[in-house]
């Protein structure tokens, strides 16, 4: 999260619009954080989109003349998205997909691993780790927070939220179910000699 995935998606859609291409953008209906009828970045950049409940709804609402198909928050769609994206690309449509690679448990998220494997072009964006004092490591994980503490492993997999619910974290600072402040402090090397 917070790496600019949707912002980059919107940038690419703007390029297609300037080129005069017919575009349709889709997003999962459950993502109502910033706008219902648009893909919207955390910085409030927007592009008109159709909110759909599932992949079949994308298929039903796709126009014959659409040349560019964009799908935001693709991790929330089922594995049948992979087949649709492949079919559209094979028919000559330019398909742009944005989504999280890993869920908050650091496991592959929805159809994203297969979409990445089949992609003709893959762009991986990463935020900086938001853990206090880190900031310099590349964030490869999404830290879900519940009341400011890491969410437990048995928490619901899908919770739509923003900065109050999620942080970008590096591998070193990502935690599940225990706050970093609950961990014992490491023993300093000079202190261990006194043991």
Which residue, chain included where needed, has tokens 């209906």? 29
How far is the C-alpha of 77 from the C-alpha of 28, rounded, in Å? 7
Same domain? 152 vs 172: yes
User: What is the per-residue pLDDT across 134-168, written as a single tens digit (0 to 9) for each?
Assistant: 867 799 999 999 888 889 888 888 887 776 788 99
The one catalytic residue among 8, 37, 73, 183 = 73
Mean pLDDT (whole number) for 50-67? 97
Split into its structural domains, the chain has a count of 2
How far is the C-alpha of 120 from the C-alpha of 10, rounded, in Å? 19
Mean pLDDT (whole number) for 26-44? 76
Supply the pLDDT for residue 164.
73
Residue 22, Cβ density class (10 Å: 0-12 exposed, 13-18 middle, ≥19 buried)? middle
73 is catalytic: yes
Q: Give this prediction's pTM.
A: 0.83
Same domain? 174 vs 155: yes
Same domain? 19 vs 64: yes
Same domain? 99 vs 149: no
Same domain? 13 vs 95: yes
Domain limits for position 102: 5-118
């Amino acid at each position: 999260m917070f790496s600019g995935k949707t912002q980059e998606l919107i940038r690419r859609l703007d390029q297609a619009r300037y080129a005069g291409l017919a575009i349709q953008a889709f997003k999962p209906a459950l993502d109502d954080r910033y706008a219902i009828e648009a893909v919207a970045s955390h910085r409030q950049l927007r592009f008109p989109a159709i909110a759909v409940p599932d992949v079949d709804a994308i298929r039903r609402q796709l126009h014959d003349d659409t040349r560019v198909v964009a799908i935001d928050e693709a991790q929330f769609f089922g594995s049948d998205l992979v087949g649709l994206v492949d079919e559209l690309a094979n028919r000559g449509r330019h398909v742009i997909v944005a989504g999280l690679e890993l869920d908050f448990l650091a496991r592959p998220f929805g159809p994203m691993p297969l979409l990445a494997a089949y992609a003709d072009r893959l762009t991986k964006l990463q935020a900086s780790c938001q853990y206090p004092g880190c900031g310099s490591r590349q964030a490869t994980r999404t830290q879900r927070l519940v009341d400011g503490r890491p969410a437990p492993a048995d928490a619901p997999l899908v919770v739509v939220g923003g900065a109050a619910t999620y942080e970008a974290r590096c591998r070193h600072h990502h935690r599940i179910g225990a706050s970093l402040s609950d961990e014992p402090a490491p023993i300093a090397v000079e202190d261990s000699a006194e043991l």
